């Protein structure tokens, strides 16, 4: 690496550190009740790509260390004061805090370019720049190539005017450069695991559905589904599922197996890993050929059109758990949100997963278009009938850039600004009031749904049976149950 290359400092900024670890890259960013903290994968991939281009990089994940602003700025002063470009991740709940942090950096390092990235500035770039007058620009959508090209331009003494995917400030004007094309050759992006090994501590991160410690990776970007609420396809990576080659994916599995002796599971964070059956089959067969299933378990997001044959092969290749977005137990609600699935498909999927020996973490939400008390009860009834390994219940959180947000905003259903997307303690908040259904009623329903789901004798028997086969799973379940019990007790006391 040339020593005179520009330094790029990537930052996952501090937010509500006094309350816990804010998981900015979760699909619904918050300090979660389970204690989950996602790896900042988008930042990781962009930093790894820029490093590959020859730039010196610095990296700070403040939420992982639970550092406040002062501690974060102290670290940057020691390790990144010479940076010519600061890249700050953002989220809707934290956007005002993120902008203020970026402005502090600009004040301290006026010659550096301060760039915001993430779903929120991608959705509302002009609004974002209007909030923070000292922020130099935002990178829209995928930003691996954008950050690298911006750094090259700045290094040559040029501005961002020729860099696609950038919105930037030019005097009193805000300029929006043309969109950047989505990356097609994903094998050119370095492994997240390699970067994690050199820069991060895997024990700082926790995903409740996975065995601890785990590592998260993308094997592809984009999602062909059109669910109206899902923020990443609509603001970041689009609806074309672009793929890393099976050989490339399995090489990263091999790297993890050889370099992370403590890692117990790989979390594949693709929106829907199982879209391409042939590719899933190739990946599974390569894992089995190399014997990696004996060393690593893995889990993935998997849509309910997944067939039994593929499930069985995934199980043989070490897949332990699949995560479907079931969302609602009412077919009209599923149609309203463009989910593209049926109740019958959901029921068959669960039966097939049980036949294949795969566990399921089912995701449900309330508050979508057409929601009523009756349709919420339909959802709980379906969840109880399916009796999956675990389940989550949340109110819809409409994020800028999504169809769900436009529906809720134009209908006058969003009752609060971005600062209210999380509560004071950083946990999820409901910002919707629907006709005949208040935000508090939806929150109360989700709390009661969790209680009814997890406090059943049938569920206790199921968890015990799974735990007997897998003692580490029993330990994980007891830990999660303890957190849930404390939360439910606290809610009842309130």
pLDDT in tens, the chain (494 residues): 445 789 999 999 999 999 999 999 999 999 998 899 999 999 999 999 999 999 999 999 999 999 999 999 999 999 999 999 999 999 999 999 999 999 999 999 999 999 999 999 999 999 999 999 999 999 999 999 999 999 999 999 999 999 999 999 999 999 999 999 999 999 999 999 999 999 999 999 999 999 999 999 999 999 999 999 999 999 999 999 999 999 999 999 999 999 999 999 999 999 999 999 999 999 999 999 999 999 999 999 999 999 999 999 999 999 999 999 999 999 999 999 999 999 999 999 999 999 999 999 999 999 999 999 999 999 999 999 999 999 999 999 999 999 999 999 999 999 999 999 999 999 999 999 999 999 999 999 999 999 999 998 878 777 777 777 776 665 655 555 555 555 555 555 55
Taking the CA atoms of residue 75, residue 48, residue 219 and residue 262 in that order, the dihedral angle to the nearest 10 degrees is: -50
Which of 148, 176, 204 corresponds to the end of one domain? Answer: 176
Q: Is residue 492 part of a domain?
A: yes
Place of tokens 């600062």: 419
Which of 142, 176, 210 corresponds to the end of one domain? Answer: 176
Q: Is residue 404 part of a domain?
A: no
Report the SS3 class of residue 393. strand
Q: Is residue 335 part of a domain?
A: no
- CA–CA dist 450, 484 (Å, integer): 8
Give me the pLDDT at residue 483, please: 58
Q: Is residue 470 part of a domain?
A: yes
Which of 158, 176, 194 corresponds to the end of one domain? Answer: 176
Q: Is residue 52 part of a domain?
A: yes
Q: Is residue 96 part of a domain?
A: yes
- CA–CA dist 298, 465 (Å, integer): 21
* Domain ranges, residue 154: 7-176
CA gyration radius, the chain: 22
Q: Is residue 182 part of a domain?
A: no
Whichever domain contains 151, its CATH number is: 3.40.50.2300
Are the CB atoms for 300 and 273 separated by under 8 Å?
yes
* Pairs from 153-161 (Cβ < 8 Å, separation ≥ 24): 154/6, 154/84, 154/85, 154/113, 155/5, 155/6, 155/84, 160/113, 160/136
Give me the pLDDT at residue 316, please: 98
Structural domain count, the chain = 2
Give me the pLDDT at residue 460, please: 76
């Amino acid at each position: 690496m040339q020593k005179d290359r520009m330094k790029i400092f990537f930052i996952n900024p501090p937010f509500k550190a006094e309350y816990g670890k804010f998981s900015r890259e979760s699909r619904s960013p918050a300090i979660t009740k389970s204690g989950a903290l996602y790896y900042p994968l988008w930042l990781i991939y962009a930093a790894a790509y820029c490093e590959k281009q020859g730039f010196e990089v610095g990296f700070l994940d403040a939420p992982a260390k639970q550092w406040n602003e002062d501690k974060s700025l102290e670290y940057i002063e020691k390790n990144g004061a010479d940076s010519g470009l600061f890249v700050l991740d953002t989220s809707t709940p934290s956007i005002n805090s993120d902008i203020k942090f970026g402005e502090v950096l600009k004040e301290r390092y006026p010659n550096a370019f301060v760039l915001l990235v993430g779903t929120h500035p991608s959705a509302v770039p002009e609004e974002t720049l209007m909030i923070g007058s000292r922020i130099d620009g935002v990178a829209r959508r995928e930003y691996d190539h954008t950050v690298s090209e911006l750094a090259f331009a700045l290094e040559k003494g040029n501005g961002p005017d020729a860099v696609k995917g950038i919105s930037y400030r030019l005097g009193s004007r805000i300029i929006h450069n043309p969109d950047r094309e989505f990356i097609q050759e994903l094998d050119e992006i370095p492994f997240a695991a390699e970067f994690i090994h050199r820069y991060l501590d895997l024990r700082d991160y926790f995903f409740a559905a996975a065995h601890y410690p785990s590592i998260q990776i993308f094997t592809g970007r984009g999602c062909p589904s059109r669910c109206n609420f899902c923020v990443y396809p609509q603001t970041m990576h689009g609806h074309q599922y672009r793929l890393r080659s099976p050989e490339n994916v399995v090489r990263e599995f091999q790297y993890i197996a050889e370099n992370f002796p403590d890692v117990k599971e790989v979390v594949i964070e693709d929106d829907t890993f199982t879209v391409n059956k042939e590719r899933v089959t190739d990946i599974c067969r390569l894992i089995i050929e190399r014997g990696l299933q004996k060393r690593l378990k893995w889990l993935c997001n998997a849509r309910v059109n997944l067939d039994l044959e593929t499930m069985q092969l995934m199980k043989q290749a070490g897949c332990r758990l699949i995560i479907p977005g079931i969302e609602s137990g009412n077919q009209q609600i599923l149609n309203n949100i463009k989910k593209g699935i049926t109740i019958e498909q959901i029921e068959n999927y669960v039966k097939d997963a049980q036949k294949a020996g795969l566990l399921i973490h089912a995701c449900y939400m309330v508050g979508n278009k057409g929601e009523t008390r009756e349709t919420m009860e339909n959802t709980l009834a379906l969840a109880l009938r399916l009796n999956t390994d675990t389940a989550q219940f949340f109110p819809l959180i409409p994020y800028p850039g999504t169809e769900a947000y436009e529906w809720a905003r134009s209908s006058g259903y969003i009752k609060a600004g971005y600062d209210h997307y999380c509560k004071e303690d950083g946990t999820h908040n409901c910002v919707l009031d629907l006709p005949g259904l208040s935000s508090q009623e939806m929150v109360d329903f989700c709390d009661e749904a969790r209680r009814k789901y997890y406090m059943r004798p049938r569920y206790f028997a199921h968890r015990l049976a799974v735990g007997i086969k897998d003692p580490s799973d029993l330990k994980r379940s007891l830990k999660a149950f303890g957190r849930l019990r404390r939360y439910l007790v606290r809610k009842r006391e309130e």
